[in-house]
Structure formats: structure tokens, C-alpha cells
Amino acid sequence: MLSQRVRRILVEKDARDYPMTRRVLARLPGVPVEMILDRETLRRAGPDRAAWLAAAKTTLLLAVQKGPFQRPCPGTKDYICCGYQVLQVTVNCPMDCTYCVLQGYINTPALTIFVNVKDLLEELETRWAAEPDRLWRLGTGEFGDSLALDSLMGLNERLIPRFAGQRRAILEIKSKWPQLERLLPFGPNPQVIFAWSLNPPGLISGEERLAASLERRLNAASQAAAAGFRLAFHFDPLIYFPGWEDAYQRTVERLGAAVPPQAIAWISLGGLRFLPPLRQLILRRFPTSRIAAQEMVLAPDGKLRYFRNLRVEMYARLREWLNQAVPGALVYLCMESPRVWHEVFGFTPEAKALSHLLDGRVVPAH
């Protein structure tokens, strides 16, 4: 259990009296607890990001979300966006992937859990009521991992039933963690999509520290499908290394053998990308990692990416293997340029067309 790695708990003054706070503290007996005024005091964590990031993986912060929980996914200018909405229920995650973009993003040196769940549920109801004709594709796995802390939080047990009666709201529970047994009795529920990001086993063991093996992720996906949930998969980040073709092809074949294609709502592909300062951070934190040394180019969105030809080749091969292994599954590119789309698929989605394509997979008539 990842939560057993927690060595220290910080509780914001305003977060003390929430049921979620009591629940988490009851599940971590013996872990030292400190009360703090608020998390702003922690933001003076010091300039040595590499040093405090490690400690941030074993420090849990229980805090109150004061801003909106729901935010549009921070897409990239001039790159095609899928219209996803992020639910910020946690920030940071106990796993430690070498490429994790949160390393450059988070300012609070802790795993943050927002405890005001009632506010979250009320916010969702208000938004849905205000725009009843809109379809919402929402996910909790952008600023953290949707399952890694769920045995502590119990949040999915409360969220999943809320989506059961909603024909116009979809929840994507995105993870690299396999424990979902507690959630299976909440199926069938086609409004909920369990999603795993996938990579070949060698990359998982080298670059995705503490994350579940490919086999455990695929077993969990098979269990979710059998319980009546939909599935999604994200080959993101796709990572280049000598021998990538064979490794990714085998991974796709294992996916095809593990789950029924008709249960899959969508599969995304996204090449490794990150803002330039992350490269030094990766080299410092993970000196044996193979990813930061690869040749990359500064793209128009300010991120380092593989050269376009390599990205196109990787996407096209993955698409070909996926078409064979999981026929009929919708494959799309996450945050890619119109030109790359065209070279891989032979067309470029118009503005909002990708969003409508994904919506159509989960709500046939809208």
C-alpha cells in the first residue's frame, strides 16, 4: 500500500473538522501529525527543488480547496486539445516517475489531499445544473493519481454513484495503480471510465518508480471491464529507446489479450514532452534514467519534444498495432500539432471536433 510510505501528516487549521480528515488520520495511526496554519507557510520550501521533492512524497497534507475543484485541462496553444476538464482533488502522488511534469509544477512540498468533499459535490451539481445541455468529461488523474491514495480517501466511492445517474457527465479515473476491488461493486456504471497509462515493462521498472507492473494494471482493467465499467488507456508518455518497436508492440498485444475491445472508450498517444527546466531536475533526481539524455527539440509550445519525424513514426506504428490488437478502439493524439495529426491520421480535426469525437464515444446522442 502506497499510503504506508507516509511518514508525516500536516493538517491545515481549516481542514481539522472535515470527515475526510478524520478518515485519513484513523487510517494512518502512529504517523506524527502536525497542525499548521495553512499551506502558504509550506510554500517557503526552499529553492532546492530536487531536495524537497523526495520528502514531498512521504509527507501528507490535508487541506481545504479554496478555489474551484473543476478547471479546464491546461491544453497547449496551437496544439489540438480534447476539451477535458480536470477535477483537482489531490496534488502530487506517492509514486515517483522520472518524467512526471508535476515535479516542475508543484510548490507545496507534500502530497496534498483536499478534504472538503461536500464542496466538490455541490460544485459539480451547480455546474451541471447551470449548463444542462453540455457534456462534461471530467478526470481526477491530472494533478495526481486517481487510485493511489483512494484507500485513504474513499473519494471514488462517493464520486462514482454521483455519476451513475448523469447521462451528460463522465468521470475518468486515471491511474498507474491497480487496487480497485472496493470499487467494483459500484458497477455496472458506463458513466465511469477506469483508465491506465501503459508503457513496456522495462520502462515501468526503470522510469515509473513504485508504480504497478503492466500485468497488474491490465488485470485491474480486466476486473473493471467485468464489473461493467468502461476503460481507457494512455500511451503517454511514449518514450523512445533503442528497441522501442518490439517493446511497445508486445505491450499493445498484451493489452489486446487482456481486455475486450468493446469496453474501451478511447486510447490516447502522447510523446514525451516537458518544459526545459525539467531536464536538469530529472538528471539530478534520477541520474540513471535514460530519458533526459535523448535528443529533443524546443517546440512552439515551449516544451521539449522528440523531433516531429520520430513522433509521427511512433504514433503511426502504435496506431497500426492498436488497430490489430483492439479493433474499433478510438485512438487519438494528446496535445499534438495539426501537422502531426495529419501525417498520422490523414486528417486534422477541426476546432472542437476532437472533443465531439470523444463525447460521441460515451454519449451517443448529444
The CB-of-353 to ligand SF4 minimum distance in angstroms stands at 28
H or E stretch at 81:
none
The CB-of-187 to ligand SF4 minimum distance in angstroms stands at 24
* Strand 304-305 versus strand 297-298 pairing type: antiparallel
- Listed in sequence order, the residues at least 6 apart from 174 whose beta carbon sits closer than 8 Å to its beta carbon are 139, 140, 141, 142, 145, 146, 195, 196, 197, 232, 234
Nearer to ligand SF4, 88 or 191 (CB): 88
Nearer to ligand SF4, 20 or 97 (CB): 97
Nearer to ligand SF4, 285 or 311 (CB): 285
The CB-of-99 to ligand SF4 minimum distance in angstroms stands at 7
The CB-of-97 to ligand SF4 minimum distance in angstroms stands at 3
Phi, psi dihedral angles at 75 (to 5 degrees): -65, -175
Nearer to ligand SF4, 144 or 349 (CB): 144
The CB-of-256 to ligand SF4 minimum distance in angstroms stands at 24
The CB-of-173 to ligand SF4 minimum distance in angstroms stands at 13
Interatomic CA distance for residues 341 and 349, integer angstroms: 8
Task: Kindly list the distances between the CA atom of residue 84 and the CA atoms of 178, 282, 348, in Å, as whole numbers in the listed order.
Answer: 23, 28, 18
Measured in whole angstroms, how far is the alpha carbon of residue 242 from the centre of its chain? 26
Interatomic CA distance for residues 16 and 169, integer angstroms: 31
The CB-of-13 to ligand SF4 minimum distance in angstroms stands at 27
Contact of 14 with 64, CB cutoff 8 Å? yes
Residues that bind ligand SF4 (CB under 6 A): 93, 95-97, 100, 102, 144-145, 176, 211
The CB-of-211 to ligand SF4 minimum distance in angstroms stands at 6
Interatomic CA distance for residues 41 and 91, integer angstroms: 17
Nearer to ligand SF4, 93 or 282 (CB): 93
Nearer to ligand SF4, 99 or 321 (CB): 99
Nearer to ligand SF4, 102 or 330 (CB): 102
Nearer to ligand SF4, 169 or 204 (CB): 204
What DSSP string describes 145-208? -TTTTHHHH-HHHHHHHHHHT-TTEEEEEEES----GGGGGG--EEEEEEEEE---HHHHHHHE
Nearer to ligand SF4, 100 or 292 (CB): 100
- Listed in sequence order, the residues at least 6 apart from 344 whose beta carbon sits closer than 8 Å to its beta carbon are 312, 315, 316, 319, 333
Interatomic CA distance for residues 336 and 232, integer angstroms: 19
Phi, psi dihedral angles at 118 (to 5 degrees): -60, -40
The CB-of-19 to ligand SF4 minimum distance in angstroms stands at 25
80 three-state secondary structure: strand
